[in-house]
Amino acid sequence: MSGRIVIVGGGLAAGTAAAGLRDAGYDGDVVLHAAEPHLPYERPPLSKGYLAGDAEADSMLVHPASWYAENDVEVRPGSRVERIDADAHTVTAGGATESFDRLLIATGASPRHLAAADESGAPVAYLRTREDSDRLRSVLAPGHRIAILGGGFLGLEVAAAARNAGADVIVLEALDLPLLRVLGPEMGAMFADLHREHGVDLRLGAKVTGFDGDGRRARLTVDGSADVEADLLVVGIGASPDVALAEAAGLAVDDGILVDERMRTSHPDVYAAGDVARAHHPVLGRSIRVEHWDNAIRQGRVAGQAMAGVEDAAATDLPYFFTDQYDLGMEYVGDVGPDGYDEVVVRGDLTKRVFKAYWVSGGKVVAAMQANDWDASDSLRPAIGKSLAELS
């Protein structure tokens, strides 16, 4: 198949889609616009190895520069697409308009900002780009205190990196436990214990009522708790999909760009993948938006194949995510869905944090996790849909 395909985005989904196109035999033009001044790169290391100083920037690249040259993919770093005209099949970047036959939007998501903090004069950081991680890493050192607003995966991973670097850490989480909405109370309690054991001042049910600062120090007023002072306030309260281009182009949007299992949007020649996409999942029978590394790879590959004309290309794998915090590594597969679950069954030693856990609904496993039990990794996906009696 020939033609011209334009990819908008500089992350994992975009880079993987380019590979999916070439692997599927597409021999037309491929142009990739990356808004950041880098080749497409993976973001998980920004709060893990790269933040900790254990990984170099080049190790985060989806492909080395030579791959794009060898596969005739034109990458334009620092090129921000300003407008998409889906019906006219054009995109505009830097004031120049170019045509496409098919288009992939892989613009990702952006951290939710907290205006009260941003306008307070306090030093505030968000984590989404390499530059964000570089700035944060410069503060992770003994004698510094980091305040983190939000006890989700990003906040906890930053907390672990900061403690490992010798910085003091305060985590303020509005809910009763960290990761409560993601993993439930059983695993949330485990992560709370983990961080407290490593010296984190973890304040749960925390309601921040005021922000102040002088550009060098942040001061937070916390209802029912001691005030907090820190050298830097890291805000990690979630992310919103970058749908502005899609909305302006008239595409269907609802907490992400709506796509089918082939990553096709409401316009037949426009696709979306990664954090920005809310995809119909044929196995789950509903649409979901997933902000994780594995999802960006799988959806990017499917989008590339589908745009190349592969008829059976479809994203059917269940959601997967992982985290590394201190000496704990975990993997999770599945989705408990809007109806929740009946129970969590743990097999192994929860106190030593070496175990498998199964979320069960209606007698069937809907999600599975392993913690520090790497021999169990390959057993997670096959466990979904089975009864506990069927598991070895």
Question: Does residue 101 surpass a pLDDT of 90?
Answer: yes
Cα angle, residue 39 at apex, residues 35 and 40 outer, rounded to 5°: 80
Q: What residues have CB less than 8 Å from 221, skipping those under 6 apart?
A: 208, 209, 210, 211, 212, 227
Angle between helix axes 153-164 and 180-197 (nearest 10 degrees) is 10
26: helix, strand or coil: coil
- Mean per-residue pLDDT of the chain: 95
Q: Measure the CA–CA gap between 68 and 132, rounded to whole angstroms.
A: 26
pLDDT at 1: 65
- What average pLDDT score do residues 187-216 get? 96
Region 247-259: what's the mean pLDDT?
97
Q: What pLDDT digit, counting tens, does each position of 145-168 carry?
A: 999 999 999 999 999 999 999 999
**DSSP conformational letter for 376:** G
> Roughly how many angstroms between the first and final C-alpha of the chain, as a whole number?
47
If pLDDT is split at 50, 70 and 90, which confidence band does 392 have? low
pLDDT band at residue 215 using 50, 70 and 90 as cut-offs: confident
| pLDDT over 80 (residue 173) | yes
**272-297 tens-digit pLDDT:** 999 999 999 998 989 999 999 999 99
321 by DSSP, 3-state: which?
A: strand
